[in-house]
């Protein structure tokens, strides 16, 4: 993403005429990162078409569910507490999620305004939530007694969600999971096992929309044979999209726990927890508010990215009440405000400490998260504002605009919407903000 300084530079008169989104595209290069291999080249050729639904989706649900859920001390507990293997695997036999628990996840995702889901098929612990011929350490042959991935896929499809599979390459259970680093025979076995599992999940569940690799420790792309891996993936699922965590660029970048637009116009998705844990952690009460979640979603949309927000179901598969509450509130807000997110184009306007912004065409959406009452004002909007209205009520808002300040006046004292109120501002052309212009040119004391 351009630095603030670059953006300010880009907001000169000629840039304004051209429209800043075009300037951004030119400066950052409108194409994806340079393809590196025959697989990459083929991927690049079909990328725009494969990713169309994903770009429009904007908002997805991440689900971390596995044996760690029964322990309730974070999904890294096996390694972080150095739990002996026998003690850990015993938990797999007491893992008894309620039948069809993914239905509630999918319903919640839909109610939250999410359009796709990504579930852990196998996390670092090595437990397969799906049926496999390669190991007994899988849901049908352990406590659950059935294929949890199958249930998830059915549930997601029933709610019209696109289906994503998370798959951790790192494996703390498989005997070759670490020694593959130094022992070629172990590497061969482990890579065959890994490719085999990926083949199974991409063969047995119909169309899969996203493959979300995770942690490639301890091998590099050569060690994992990642080229061959992706080759197989696209053979099995020609329309799938893959992330960048098998040490190849894939289709999109995956900033974790922070929001950062990828460079060079590359697709990106910020993934985040709702509290501080991905897997169920019964003591973690550090919940994000619906306001924080919506602000994050706005920031992703403003900068052209997606937001993948996590739930960590309890051992019985039910979703923690706080997650349900927050996601339901987000969905309610999106009912009125959703189009400002889903249809958002890159937005150059960004400077305020009580509002964030999205844009569709010449309309600027000012999403006020701390409602100051009475009026709101915006510095350095260099585009003429023609009209404004409160999105929630449709009420017209009066505008007072000069070279430096755009003021929306006569607003109600109390915010008309919650947790953010959106004001739609119709502009004469693509809205552009230049606060440096204000700093330099607004008359100072005595001038």
Binding site for ligand GLC (CB under 6 A): 64, 75-76, 214-215, 256, 271, 278
Asked if 42 and 234 count as a contact pair (C-beta separation under 8 A), the reply is: yes
The nearer residue to ligand GLC, 75 or 430, going by C-beta atoms, is 75
Query: Going along 124-201, which residue ranges are E strands?
Result: 162-168
The nearer residue to ligand GLC, 34 or 215, going by C-beta atoms, is 215
- The H or E element that residue 123 is part of is none
Crossing angle of helices 184-201 and 226-236, in 10° steps, is 20
The nearer residue to ligand GLC, 119 or 161, going by C-beta atoms, is 119
CB of 357 to ligand GLC, least distance (A): 27
Nearest by Cα to 290 from 248, 338, 251, 322: 322
CB of 294 to ligand GLC, least distance (A): 21
The nearer residue to ligand GLC, 90 or 215, going by C-beta atoms, is 215
Measured CA distances, 280 to 75, 286, 303 (Å): 7, 13, 30
CB of 89 to ligand GLC, least distance (A): 19
CA torsion through residues 227, 230, 234, 236, sign: positive
The nearer residue to ligand GLC, 256 or 332, going by C-beta atoms, is 256
CB of 109 to ligand GLC, least distance (A): 17
The nearer residue to ligand GLC, 220 or 440, going by C-beta atoms, is 220
The nearer residue to ligand GLC, 17 or 215, going by C-beta atoms, is 215
Measured CA distances, 196 to 40, 147, 235 (Å): 21, 17, 14
The nearer residue to ligand GLC, 117 or 385, going by C-beta atoms, is 117
CB of 211 to ligand GLC, least distance (A): 14
- The H or E element that residue 22 is part of is helix 20-28
Tokens of 26: 């030119």
CB of 75 to ligand GLC, least distance (A): 5
- Residue 19: partners with Cβ closer than 8 Å, 6 or more residues away: 429, 430
Q: What distance in Å separates the CA atoms of residue 227 and residue 42, rounded to the nearest whole number?
A: 12
CB of 126 to ligand GLC, least distance (A): 13
CB of 336 to ligand GLC, least distance (A): 31
- Residue 380: partners with Cβ closer than 8 Å, 6 or more residues away: 351, 404, 433, 434, 435, 436, 437, 438
């Amino acid at each position: 993403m351009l630095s603030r300084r670059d953006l300010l530079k880009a907001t000169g008169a000629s840039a304004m005429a051209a429209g800043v989104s075009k300037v951004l595209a030119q400066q950052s290069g409108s194409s994806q990162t340079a393809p590196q291999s025959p697989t990459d080249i083929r991927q690049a050729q079909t990328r725009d078409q494969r990713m169309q639904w994903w770009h429009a989706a904007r908002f997805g649900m991440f689900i971390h569910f596995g044996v760690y859920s029964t322990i309730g001390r974070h999904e890294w507990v096996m390694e972080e507490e150095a739990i002996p293997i026998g003690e850990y695997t015993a938990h797999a036999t007491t893992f008894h999620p309620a039948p069809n628990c993914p239905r509630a996840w999918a319903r919640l995702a839909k109610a939250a305004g999410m359009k796709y889901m990504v579930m852990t098929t196998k996390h670092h612990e090595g437990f397969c939530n799906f049926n496999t011929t390669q190991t007994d350490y899988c849901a049908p042959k352990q406590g659950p007694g059935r294929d949890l991935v199958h249930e998830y896929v059915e549930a997601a499809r029933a709610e019209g969600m696109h289906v994503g599979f998370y798959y951790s390459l790192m494996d703390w259970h498989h005997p070759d999971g670490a020694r593959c680093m130094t022992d070629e025979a172990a590497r061969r076995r482990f890579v065959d096992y890994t490719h085999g599992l990926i083949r199974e999940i991409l063969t047995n569940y119909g169309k899969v929309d996203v493959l979300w690799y995770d942690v490639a420790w301890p091998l590099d792309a050569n060690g994992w044979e990642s080229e061959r891996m992706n080759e197989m993936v696209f053979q099995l699922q020609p329309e799938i999209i893959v992330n960048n965590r098998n040490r190849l660029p894939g289709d999109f970048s995956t900033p974790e726990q922070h929001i950062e637009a990828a460079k060079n116009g590359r697709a990106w998705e910020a993934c985040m927890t709702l509290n501080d844990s991905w897997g169920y952690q019964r003591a973690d009460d550090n919940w994000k508010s619906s306001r924080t979640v919506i602000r994050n979603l706005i920031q992703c949309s403003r900068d052209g990215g997606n937001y993948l927000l996590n739930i960590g179901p309890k051992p019985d598969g039910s979703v923690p009440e706080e997650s349900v509450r927050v996601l339901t509130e987000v969905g309610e807000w999106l009912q009125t405000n959703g189009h400002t997110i889903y249809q958002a184009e890159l937005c150059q306007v960004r400077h305020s400490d009580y509002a964030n912004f999205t844009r569709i065409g010449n309309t600027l959406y000012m999403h006020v998260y701390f409602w100051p009452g009475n009026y709101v004002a915006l510095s350095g909007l260099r585009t003429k504002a023609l009209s404004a209205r409160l999105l929630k009520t449709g009420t017209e808002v009066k505008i007072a605009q000069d070279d430096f300040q755009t003021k929306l006046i006569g607003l109600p004292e109390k915010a008309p919407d919650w947790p953010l109120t959106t004001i739609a501002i119709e502009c004469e052309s693509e809205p552009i903000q230049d606060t440096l212009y204000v700093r330099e040119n607004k008359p100072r004391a005595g001038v």
